[in-house]
Amino acid sequence: WLLRARKVSLKSTGPTNAFWSSNGMANNASAAVEPAPLTDYFVHENGVTFAGRHLLVDLWDAEHLTDIEFIEQTLRNAAEAAGATVLDVKLHQFSNSGGVSGVAILAESHISIHTWPERDFAAIDVFMCGTCNPHNSLPTLKSAFAAKSITVNKARRGIVT
């Protein structure tokens, strides 16, 4: 996308008044504007800057994998445990197996889930930026789905330094 800026003159064409000075600047305006500090919610940890923490969670011998209302509430609880803000939850249930795929859309990124009830397996992604801690969602997920086994792979996404 290419944006074009228009040059707009603030210079007064009439006599000066309480708002406009003779140099065309507003009387309450300063000549230089300092740029605002960067607030991109990147994480700064141990000298490394990155977009966020991404957990790839495998739950084995799990339960409640076809209960769509239960899954929605569990995703909301997991987000809350991590300190995240839920914006929306979208889930779809498959008619052939009863498996569920979906996502909790967070202000800080997302938690997604895909279940295979025929294998008692769920694959969950937890990706968060800012001050949220996705690791805090793990006890909620393991307990709610009564998983006998959990595997977690961790990644830092968008490493800058």
Say which of 64, 110, 114, 135 is annotated catalytic.
114
The angle subtended at Cα 144 by Cα 151 and Cα 107, nearest 5°, is 80
Integer Cα distance of 45 and 48 in angstroms: 5
Q: Is 137 a catalytic residue?
A: no
Say which of 54, 109, 132, 137 is annotated catalytic.
109
Residue with tokens 């498996």, as numbered in its chain: 99
Helix (H, G, I), strand (E, B) or coil at 111: strand
Q: Is 129 a catalytic residue?
A: yes
Say which of 54, 129, 132, 137 is annotated catalytic.
129
Annotated catalytic residues are 109, 114, 129
